[in-house]
C-alpha cells in the first residue's frame, strides 16, 4: 500500500496548480444554466483547451495529455481546489467521449473529439423519455431508415444542457420487432444529432430554482447521416450501458469536487461567530470532512484496482449512493451554517444545494442502485423490479 506520488505526478500537480492559479477567474462565472453563463463557460473551456487542460486523460491527438487515472484524479483535485468553473462540456467528455473511444470509428473520433475538447461544440445527452425514467429499456423514440441515414422522431426529456447546447446523443429504436417480441433491449441504436437540425424543437424545462437546466426535445423526422451512428445498428443498448457505467463511476465524480466542497464548508464553519462551540454543527462539518476523505480513498482504491486490470463493476453503485447523499448532507449543513441567509437564492451555496438535490435521482435512482448493491454485491435474491 502506497499513497506517495511519484516525482512526475507531483510535477504534474504543480504544473496544473500553477496554471489554474494564474487563469481561474477571480469571480465565479454566471450560472452555467443561463445563456450568459453558458457562453462564459464555453469561453473558459476554450482557454482550458488551449493550454491542454480540458481533457487531460485523452490521447494527445484529440487535445489531451494522455494522463493516467492517477494524474486525472490529481488534476481534478487541483481543478476544484482552485475554485475553477463547472464544466459545461461534462456530458460530452464523460458520457459521449468514452463511448466513442470504445465503439466509435477513428473518423468519428477525429471529427467529434477536438471540437468537444475546445468547447466549440457542446453536447447534451438525450436518454430519457417521459415514460422511461429508471426503465430505460422502454424507450419509444425511433429512427427510420432513409437514404444515407436515419430519420429520428419522438420525444426525449430531462436532456441536461440541451437548452443551450449544439448537439446531442442518445439511443433510438431502429427496429421495433424485438420489443414487440418482448425483448425491448434489442433494436436500439446509438446516434448523434444536431440540436439545430430541421425537425428539432427544444423546449427548456425550469429546474426547481427556475433555471433551464434541462429541456424536452421534440423530434420530427430529423435527418442523421450514417456517419453519426456509433457502433453497430441495433446494438445501442449494450453501447449505452457501458456509457451509463462510466457516468456512475470515476469519470463523472472525481473526489476533488467533494474535497473542495468540504474545504469550503470548514472555512464557512470556522468563519462563523461562536461556531466552534456548537458541537451539533461541528459534528456535521466533521462528517463532511470524513466523507470527502472516505470518498477520496475509496476512489484511489478503485483506481488502483482498475490499474491492476480489475473492472469496477457494481461497486460504482456504492459510489453513486455515497456521493449523492454526501453532497446533499454537505449542502444542508452549509445552509444551516448560514443561518437566516440560508434560504436566500443569492448565496454561493444555493445553486449547488439545488444541484445536489438531483443527485439521488439521476444516473440511476438510488433505489435502483441499492437494489444493484444488494443483488450483485451481496447476492441477495432478485426482487420485483
Extract long-range pairs of 304-307: CB within 8 Å, 24+ residues apart. Answer: 306/69, 306/250, 307/68, 307/69, 307/70
Map residue 136 onto helix, strand or coil.
helix
Residue 282 binds to other proteins (criterion: CB under 8 A): yes
Judged on CB neighbours under 10 Å (0-12, 13-18, 19+), 8 is: exposed
The span from the CA of 8 to the CA of 171, in Å, is 41
- Binding other proteins by CB under 8 A: which of 3, 31, 90, 237? 3
Q: Which is nearer to other proteins, 198 or 379 (CB)?
A: 379
Residue 7 binds to a copy of itself (criterion: CB under 8 A): no
- Grid coordinates given for 285: 462539518
The span from the CA of 143 to the CA of 141, in Å, is 7
Say how many C-beta atoms besides its own lie within 10 A of residue 21's C-beta.
10
Residue 123 binds to other proteins (criterion: CB under 8 A): no
- Report angle CA 263, 265, 269 to the nearest 5 degrees: 120
**Is 227 one of the catalytic residues?**
no
- Single out the segment in contact with other proteins by CB under 8 A; choices: 21-29, 166-174, 190-198, 342-350: 342-350
Residue 278 binds to a copy of itself (criterion: CB under 8 A): yes
- Binding other proteins by CB under 8 A: which of 51, 181, 307, 311? 307
Q: Considering CB under 8 A, how many residues would be counted as binding a copy of itself?
A: 9
Closest approach, Cβ 119 to other proteins, in A, equals 26
Cα 58–chain centre separation: 16
Residues 317-336 within binding reach of other proteins (CB under 8 A): 318, 321-322, 335-336
- Single out the segment in contact with a copy of itself by CB under 8 A; choices: 46-54, 143-151, 187-195, 273-281: 273-281
Residue 43 binds to other proteins (criterion: CB under 8 A): no
The span from the CA of 78 to the CA of 190, in Å, is 34
Closest approach, Cβ 279 to a copy of itself, in A, equals 4
Residue 209 binds to other proteins (criterion: CB under 8 A): yes
Judged on CB neighbours under 10 Å (0-12, 13-18, 19+), 156 is: buried
Residue 273 binds to a copy of itself (criterion: CB under 8 A): no
The span from the CA of 126 to the CA of 199, in Å, is 15
Q: Would you say 79 and 20 are in contact if contact means Cβ atoms under 8 Å apart?
A: yes
Residue 289 binds to a copy of itself (criterion: CB under 8 A): no
Residue 280 binds to a copy of itself (criterion: CB under 8 A): yes
Residue 277 binds to other proteins (criterion: CB under 8 A): no
**Out of 247, 296, 315, 351, which one is annotated catalytic?**
247
Instruction: Identify which of 194, 184, 200 has the alpha carbon closest to the alpha carbon of residue 234.
Output: 184
- Single out the segment in contact with a copy of itself by CB under 8 A; choices: 21-29, 277-285, 354-362, 369-377: 277-285
- Binding other proteins by CB under 8 A: which of 24, 268, 304, 312? 304
Both ends of the chain: CA-CA distance in Å?
Answer: 40
Contacted by 380, from a copy of itself, other proteins, none: CB < 5 to 8 Å by type = other proteins
- Grid coordinates given for 113: 473529439
- Binding a copy of itself by CB under 8 A: which of 145, 183, 267, 282? 282
Closest approach, Cβ 124 to other proteins, in A, equals 15
**Residue keyed to cell 453519426:** 228
Residue 300 binds to other proteins (criterion: CB under 8 A): yes
- Grid coordinates given for 200: 428539432
Contact residues toward a copy of itself (CB under 8 A) are 277-283, 383-384
Which residues are part of the catalytic machinery? 247
Amino acid at each position: 500500500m502506497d499513497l506517495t506520488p511519484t516525482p512526475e505526478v507531483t510535477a504534474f500537480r504543480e504544473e496544473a496548480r500553477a496554471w489554474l492559479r494564474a487563469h481561474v477567474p477571480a469571480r465565479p462565472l454566471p450560472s452555467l444554466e443561463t445563456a450568459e453563463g453558458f457562453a462564459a463557460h464555453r469561453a473558459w473551456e476554450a482557454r482550458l483547451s488551449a493550454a491542454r487542460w480540458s481533457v487531460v486523460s485523452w490521447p494527445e491527438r484529440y487535445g489531451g495529455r494522455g494522463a493516467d487515472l492517477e494524474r486525472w484524479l490529481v488534476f481534478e483535485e487541483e481543478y476544484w481546489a482552485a475554485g475553477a468553473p463547472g464544466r459545461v462540456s461534462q456530458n460530452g467528455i464523460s458520457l459521449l467521449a468514452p463511448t466513442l473511444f470504445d465503439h466509435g470509428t477513428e473518423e468519428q473520433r477525429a471529427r467529434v473529439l477536438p471540437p468537444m475538447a475546445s468547447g466549440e461544440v457542446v453536447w447534451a445527452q438525450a436518454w430519457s423519455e417521459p415514460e422511461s425514467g429508471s426503465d430505460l429499456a422502454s424507450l419509444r423514440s425511433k429512427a427510420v431508415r432513409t437514404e444515407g441515414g436515419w430519420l429520428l422522431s419522438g420525444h426525449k426529456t430531462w436532456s441536461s444542457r440541451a437548452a443551450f447546447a449544439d448537439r446531442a446523443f442518445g439511443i433510438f429504436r431502429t427496429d421495433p420487432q424485438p420489443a414487440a417480441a418482448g425483448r425491448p433491449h434489442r433494436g436500439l441504436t446509438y446516434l448523434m444529432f444536431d440540436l439545430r437540425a430541421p425537425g428539432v424543437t427544444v423546449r427548456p424545462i425550469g429546474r426547481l430554482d427556475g433555471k433551464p437546466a434541462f429541456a424536452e426535445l421534440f423530434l420530427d423526422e430529423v435527418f442523421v447521416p450514417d456517419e453519426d451512428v456509433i457502433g453497430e445498428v441495433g446494438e445501442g443498448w449494450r453501447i449505452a450501458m457501458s456509457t451509463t457505467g462510466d457516468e456512475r463511476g470515476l469519470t463523472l465524480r472525481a473526489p476533488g469536487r467533494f474535497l473542495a466542497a468540504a474545504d469550503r464548508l470548514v472555512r464557512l464553519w470556522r468563519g462563523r461567530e461562536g461556531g466552534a462551540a456548537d458541537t451539533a454543527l461541528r459534528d456535521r462539518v466533521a462528517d463532511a470532512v470524513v466523507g470527502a476523505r472516505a470518498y477520496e480513498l475509496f476512489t484511489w482504491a478503485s483506481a488502483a484496482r482498475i490499474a491492476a486490470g480489475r473492472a469496477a463493476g457494481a461497486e460504482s453503485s456504492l459510489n453513486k449512493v455515497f456521493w449523492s447523499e454526501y453532497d446533499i448532507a454537505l449542502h444542508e449543513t452549509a445552509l444551516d451554517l448560514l443561518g437566516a441567509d440560508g434560504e436566500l437564492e443569492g448565496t454561493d451555496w444555493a445553486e449547488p444545494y439545488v444541484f445536489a438535490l438531483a443527485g439521488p435521482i439521476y444516473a440511476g435512482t438510488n433505489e435502483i442502485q441499492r437494489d444493484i448493491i444488494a443483488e450483485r454485491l451481496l447476492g441477495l435474491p432478485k426482487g420485483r423490479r
